[in-house]
Amino acid sequence: MKNEYKEYDELLNTGYATHEETPPEDEFFHAIYISSVMRKNHISVIEEVGKLQIRGVQYNLNEVNFVITHVKPVLVKKEKINEKDKIVCFSYQNTRPWKGNSGHICPTSRDERDNTPVCKGCRGEIIVSGMLCDQNGTPIINDGKPIFVFVRGKGIKSMNVYAYLDKLTKIETEPPIFPDNPTLEKMIAKNKRYVTRVAVTSMNSKYGVKTVFSFDTGTRLSDESVREVLKIQKKTLIQFNEKLDRLYLFDWSNSFQLNGSNEGNDSSSGHVSEQTQPTPEPTQPQPTPEQPQNSSESFSFDNIKF
């Protein structure tokens, strides 16, 4: 009988199915991360220390270029369980007040969170996703489809992410895409005006020198290209939110020791090659101009499909 299953929908939560992890190559959004140890990944490629990796796509890169689609700040609380960090609560809702998946209302500042027992230790992270492209802004296409990637800014790695996003909001571009809505222009249009170049640099911290992402603006996109990227952002919103759910609700840290996954993380816990060499110095980014490169009509959406 057609649609007979609807009679039994309410029984879904009383059943069981084995969770099968999606192969990295088949993910919709692919994590960009920095290798902290030399290791052999799931396809036997040796990931080099201090190099950029795009999980399931490309490995051992000095630079990655993409056009920003989605940006999402999140709140994450972790606790030590059996000597491992486990996510016990997260929130990425748009409305105020935020409410964590544990059911608690999220305080609005770090100080307030640390003074609220159930929220103490909760920290902000930021996810920046985009469409992989070359230096000129032309999308890199696989089987007729664009490749989507994301950077996860947490801890010291978040500093350069926020600084870069702030820089984009201050760039003066005329004419605006949304002249009647300056807030929308600032929040979602300005970060799509340029190709984003990601490289690796180092930063001092209280725990010593750490490798982190560096960001800079590349080729400027045409207004029409910006509008096309906005349309793609709308088309991929569901997939982006699903990725957030998998990153936090299902907590990738639970599976690091089992499958060597580096999803959104720079700490490799998979198989380490027996031929591991002494850790090399992190790759430093090439000097880049202070101001964005001007004007390019090279961004092409030909043959893109979903």
pTM above 0.85, yes or no: no
223-235 vs 237-244: helix crossing angle, rounded to 10: 60
Question: HSE-up of 98 (CA within 13 Å, CB side)?
Answer: 21
pLDDT band at residue 263 under the 50/70/90 scheme: very low
Q: Which two tokens stand for residue 116?
A: 């609220």
Q: Say what percent of the chain tops pLDDT 90.
A: 53
| Lookup: tokens for 69 | 């689609």
Q: To which H or E segment does residue 54 belong? A: strand 52-54
Phi, psi at residue 111, to the nearest 5°?
A: -60, -45
Place of tokens 């209280």: 206
- Among residues 85, 89, 83, the alpha carbon closest in space to that of 113 is found at 89
Domain boundaries, the chain: 29-69+127-257
Mean pLDDT comparison of 88-92, 123-127, 204-208, highest-scoring range: 123-127
Please compute the mean of the pLDDT values over residues 39-52 and round it to a whole number: 94
Average pLDDT estimate for 253-262: 37
Residue type, 1: M
Partners of 139 in the β-ladder:
133
187 three-state secondary structure: helix
**pLDDT tens digits, 189-242:** 999 999 999 999 999 988 889 999 999 999 999 999 999 999 999 999 999 988
Give the C-alpha separation, 248 to 119, whole Å. Answer: 16
Tokens of residue 79, six digits: 């606790």
